[in-house]
Every structure is written in C-alpha cells, then in structure tokens.
Amino acid sequence: MLALGSRPPKLPKGLDAVAEAVVAAAQDLVPRQSRLLKRAAGIVDQAREFVDWTDAKLRDRLAQTHELFRRGRDGRADLDAALAVLCEVAFRQVGLRPFREQVAAALAMQQGLIAEMATGEGKTLVGALCGAVAGWRGKGCHVVTVNDYLVRRDAEIMGPIYRAAGLRVGFVQGNMDPASRRHAYEADVTYVTNKEVTADFLRDRLILGQTTGLAPALLAKIAEGAAPRVDRTVMRGLEYAVIDEADSLLVDEAVTPLIISGDAPNAEQVESFQQAAKIASELQQGRDYTVNLRFRDVDLTRQGRTAISELAAPLGGIWMGVRRREELVVQALTARDLFLRDKHYVIQEGKIVIVDEFTGRLMPDRTWRDGLHQAIEAKENLTVQPPKATLARISFQRFFRMYRRLAGMTGTAWEVRRELWRVYRLAVVRIPTHKPCIRVHEPTHVVTTTPQRWSAVLEQIKERHKQGRPVLIGTRSVQASEHLSQLLTHANLEHDVLNAVRQEQEAAIVAAAGTPARITVATNMAGRGTDIKLGRGVAEIGGLHVIATERHESGRIDRQLFGRAARQGDPGSAAAFVSLEDELIRRYLPKPLVQLLAWTLTRPSKPADILARAIINYAQHRSSGLAYRQRQSVLKTDDWLDQALGFAGFEP
C-alpha cells in the first residue's frame, strides 16, 4: 500500500480563528470525565461475565469481535463489548486487569481525545486496549512513543494481548533496514517513535516523487515494470495514531521540523566556519556584540561590524560580502555563547551529539540547521563536516495532522489544551487517579546564588537519606547532573547517575530508584516511560522524595518530575529549588520582579512563599508564551511552503 497521507486541514485565520478560540474554551464545559467514568464502570461490570469462560470460548468471542470491527460495525454497544472482552484478555495474558479509570481513558482515545493520566496509572495498558480495537479495523494503527527502548519494550510486553486478539504487532527502531521496517508497518499495530515514523514518511515521499494517488501509482507500477517505486516504500498509510506522551510529541517537539538531507560537499564553506570561529574569538561581548538570553539572539554593534570587516579583509572570497561574513560570525558567536557543552550537546567519538532539550536524551542522528552544527564543531576544534542539502522537510505538527484519526495520552496536557485543539482538533479530558494522590509538596526553596542552591539541595538529600527514604533528583543538564554527582561523592553518598552520556542502564536505574535509601540523579528523561515502585518498608517512612534542582521553562516538565512520587496512592513528597541565577529567572523575569523575588528571601513566611511561587510561575508563563510563538512560526512556514510550492502539487 502507499505511504500517502491526506493533506492536513488549514488552520483558521481572522474571525475563524476567534471562533475557534471560543470553541476551544467551550471544550472545558463538556462533562466528558463523568460520562466516560460512568460508561467505563459499565464495561468493567460487563467484563466480569467472561471470568468463568474457557480459553476456547473466549477465543471464539474475540474472533467474532474482530470480524465485526473489520466489517465496520463498531457502534457504541460494540465498542463497549469489545473493551469488556479485552479486559479479560489482558488479565489472562499479562496479569493486569484494567480498572475503571484505564477503561475510561481507552474510551476517550477511541473518541479522538487526549487522556491526561497521572504518572504510574498504567498508560501502557491503555494504549494496548486502544491499539487492539484500532487493529481490528484492519487499516493499521501506529502507537507512537518517545524512544526506541519504549517502542520495543511496550510492543513485547503488550504483545500477548494483541496475539490473543488475533492481531499482529510490530515495532520500528532506528537501526532497522527497509525490509524490517516494511514488515513492521504491515502489522495490525506498530510501535514506533515520532522521529522514525516521520522520517519513513518523508523517505517514502522521496521515492514516490510526484505520485500522489492510487491511480497514478498503479499506472507507474505498470510502466516501471519489475522494480516499481511503489514496492520500495515501507509504510502503508496514515490511518490511526495513538500518541504516547502527547504533550511532548505534539507540542514540545513541534518547534523543530524533521529534515531528510543529503551530502553537499563544499571545501570553501567548511573552511569559512573555521575562519569564523577564529574571528569570533577576537570579539568581546558588550563592546562588539550583545546577547539576548530570552530570545537566544546575538546582535552586532557598529564597532563589532567594523572589527569583523578589518579581520576578514585578508581572507578574500566569501568574506568580501558584508552580509555573508556577518552571518558567519554571528553564527560562530551563537555557538560559543548560547550553546553549551554538556547542556545542549556532548562530544562522543569526535562528533557533536545533540542533547534533547525536553527529555535529556542523545539524538545522534540529528544536526542543527543553517550552519549552526558546523559552527559548534569549529568552536570545539573538531573536524567540520560539510553542511547537508535539504531533500525533504516536514514539521511534526503538519505530519500528525495527516492521520485520518488521532488520539493521545500523557500525564500533562491540561496546560496546552487550547493549542492541542487549535492545531490538532484534539480536546483534553482529565482522568482521575485510581486511588487518591497523597503527595506532599514543600514550598519552593529560593536562594540567591547557584552555590547556595547546590548546598541546600545537598543538605536535603542528606536529611532524607538518613530517614532511609529514596530520593530522585532531577537536573536540567548533563553538566548539572555531573556536578551534583561530584558533590555527593565528596559527601560519601552512594548514588546512581542517569543522563545523556550514562543512559545504557536507564530502565534498571529508574525502576530501582524507589528502594530504601537509594539516591538517583537524573536529567529530564527519568520523568517518562518507566514506573518507580517503592521498595519494602519505604511507604511506611514517607515514600519517594523528588527534588527539582531548578524549575524548568515549562511547568509541565516540573509536573512530570514531581509525578514520579506518590504514584497509585503511595505516599511521597516533592520539593523545588530556585536560584536567582537560574536560566529561567535570568531569561524571563524583568529586573523589578527579580528584585521582588530576592525580597521574599528576607521575609520567610507563608505569604512570601506564595508570592515567590507566583513570580516563578509568571516566568514559566512567559517562557511558554515564547515557545508557543515559535511553534506558530513553524506553522506559518508550513503554510508558506504550501502556497509557494502549490504549483508542484502536494509537498510534504
């Protein structure tokens, strides 16, 4: 089948956009939660009738349900009956009996919603329930998640449920060849990361060229004979997608488009990056250029432009053009002052490897665009690789809107519910926890300097460690996690470190983070994917304690981190530390508010704590606003490309 997606709907503008904003706000008034929970309770009751059925009788019922859905008979009563029988299948195959809230989440996704479920509430099983129903329809279902490890793990753990339901399940990982990918996509349910499924779509589009429909594809297959282009594609269509960690994949990662590129050797251009790095080293911040931390921009002063002209004069060639030489030097200054080693990237085997800003994971197959990657290589005195030529480009926003049906689940979507509706027409429904959450949140600890912050963090770790409680400490960068590791080592505290350069044992480290007196230091990646279960006796002494060493630019990431504690009714606590020197404070708070925040340090009281929390929330609000505008810019670029290239037919 063809890997063709339908053209995504255009986003509303003008008065239509205003009307859409009203509709988005009205979504909050729809009583979805109560309706879903009531319906789910009926399904759980219905599932009890299958408890005494023999395996053979259950298989017959599953086959009948499969055939019913394949023929398109999937009304409300049919869906309820299907989920009821799947509840019994899940218990027999993997020992998990879905509870009411999980069934409600599966129902929500079948209705094309995003289900917000707290960490530890069993989203993996919910995804399997939803995926099985979608697989029965016979048009394929992609369960999209955040990394290769989870892709394989979830496919294998949930595999018995799918197979018992008469379905084939496959998974796609980055190291697979085209034949293995094609086999995985031919399965009824395919687990895959957002980057792999989008890249496979782009590669298929490159193979198909101008073939934009079934009839032209069949004609091309006849004309091309033994090895038609259609047979070299790996995907079979974009029918239905279940998005795990939906806020991360649909919102956070929507800022950066996915690009397929090819080699474009240019020795003169490679040399220019090295020359630009040398010129940049002669310039002085404040005199020759200024840095805007909030917008991550570098602006040359008049004196700086003059200095560049003088330094570039002996070089000739492309350095004779004023605009081009200033662009090269600004890129070099950006690489030097705004992109930091062990925060934005690491060096492995002599190559720059990007660290994902939101997950803390390495992205070895990704490069920065527009010469920035080469500028960073020159800055680090590494071999500068030639910039690559763009062969195909698509934003994640555009790609996921091509699916005929879309749904998702995550622990944190409520804050971006308006954007999810506007871009994807996805409403968010909050699913309550199965057991009441009893997490204790400490007031935010605000200090003046970074060293004071680390000292306070270390003291709290020691205090909780003496109590025998496990402690999970979240950091924003590799550099911060390594620094804290050194402090813990000097304090003779055994600990595990999980970051972008120490991720081989990720699942094992996170899973063990709830054992007594365990200390785990982790970047953002620890917030997603693997449950932290409490060890023996830990619940009796207070449960897992989570520490955020900085507040993140998105409050949703803080919520994900805090959500590691007090899962499924367990006890737990969380604390956050903020320094006036933190990036969030420096970039997003005006000086008067920074001074007001500093004033709260001299007034330790409950009102001061409330004021400090409000100021920090305001900084996160400003950060989120900037990120939203960046995502809107990506959407505008999509629209521009659609119009500018419209004469050539469909463009990915």
Q: What is the pLDDT of residues 254-287, one digit of tens each?
A: 887 888 877 666 777 889 999 999 999 999 999 9
pLDDT at 1 exceeding the cut of 60: no
Q: What is the CA radius of gyration of the chain?
A: 26
Range 9-16 average pLDDT: 73
pLDDT at 41 exceeding the cut of 50: yes
Q: Which of 15-24, 361-370, 487-496, 641-650 has the highest mean pLDDT?
A: 487-496
Separation of alpha carbons 624 and 59, rounded Å: 49
With contact defined as beta carbons under 8 Å apart, do 141 and 189 qualify?
A: yes
Count of Cβ atoms closer than 10 Å to residue 476 Cβ: 22
**pLDDT value at position 502?**
61
Separation of alpha carbons 129 and 44, rounded Å: 13
**Structure confidence at residue 526 as a pLDDT band (50, 70, 90):** very low
Separation of alpha carbons 329 and 341, rounded Å: 19
**pLDDT value at position 244?**
95
Please tell me which residue, 256 or 201, carries the higher pLDDT value: 201
pLDDT 10s digits, 56-84: 999 999 999 999 999 987 789 999 999 99
Closest CA to 419 of 247, 244, 640: 247
pLDDT at 226 exceeding the cut of 60: no
Range 324-341 average pLDDT: 94
pLDDT 10s digits, 389-405: 778 888 899 999 999 99
**pLDDT value at position 215?**
54
Chain centroid, CA 269 distance in Å: 34
Please tell me which residue, 216 or 508, carries the higher pLDDT value: 508
**Structure confidence at residue 293 as a pLDDT band (50, 70, 90):** confident
C-alpha separations of 144 from 116, 151, 396, 535, 626 in Å? 16, 8, 12, 31, 27
**pLDDT value at position 64?**
95
**pLDDT value at position 527?**
46
Range 348-375 average pLDDT: 84
User: What single-letter amino acid sits at 364?
Assistant: P
**Structure confidence at residue 512 as a pLDDT band (50, 70, 90):** confident
In the chain, the percentage of residues whose pLDDT exceeds 90 is 63
Q: Per the structure block, which two tokens stand in for 143?
A: 């369960």
In the chain, the percentage of residues whose pLDDT exceeds 70 is 91
Separation of alpha carbons 606 and 20, rounded Å: 40
**pLDDT value at position 138?**
94
* SS3 (DSSP) at 606: helix
**pLDDT value at position 342?**
87
Record the pTM: 0.86
Separation of alpha carbons 126 and 134, rounded Å: 12
**pLDDT value at position 316?**
87
**pLDDT value at position 229?**
59
pLDDT 10s digits, 92-107: 999 999 999 999 999 9
**pLDDT value at position 28?**
83
User: What single-letter amino acid sits at 207?
Assistant: I
pLDDT 10s digits, 395-454: 899 999 999 999 999 999 999 999 999 999 999 999 999 999 999 999 889 999 999 999
pLDDT at 4 exceeding the cut of 70: no
Could you tell me which residues come within 8 angstroms of residue 104 by beta carbon, excluding any fewer than 6 positions away?
33, 36, 37, 39, 40, 115, 431
Closest CA to 120 of 645, 557, 533, 625: 533
**Arithmetic mean of pLDDT over the chain:** 88
Could you tell me which residues come within 8 angstroms of residue 625 by beta carbon, excluding any fewer than 6 positions away?
none
Beta strands 289-292; 297-300: pairing state: antiparallel
Beta strands 258-262; 389-394: pairing state: antiparallel
pLDDT at 386 exceeding the cut of 90: no
User: What single-letter amino acid sits at 284?
Assistant: Q
pLDDT at 146 exceeding the cut of 90: no
Separation of alpha carbons 43 and 27, rounded Å: 25
Residue given tokens 């805007």 in the structure block = 292
Q: What is the DSSP letter of 440?
A: E
**pLDDT value at position 650?**
42
Domains delineated in the chain: 15-259+395-430 (3.40.50.300), 264-387 (3.90.1440.10), 438-629 (3.40.50.300)
pLDDT 10s digits, 587-623: 999 999 999 988 888 887 888 888 888 999 999 999 9
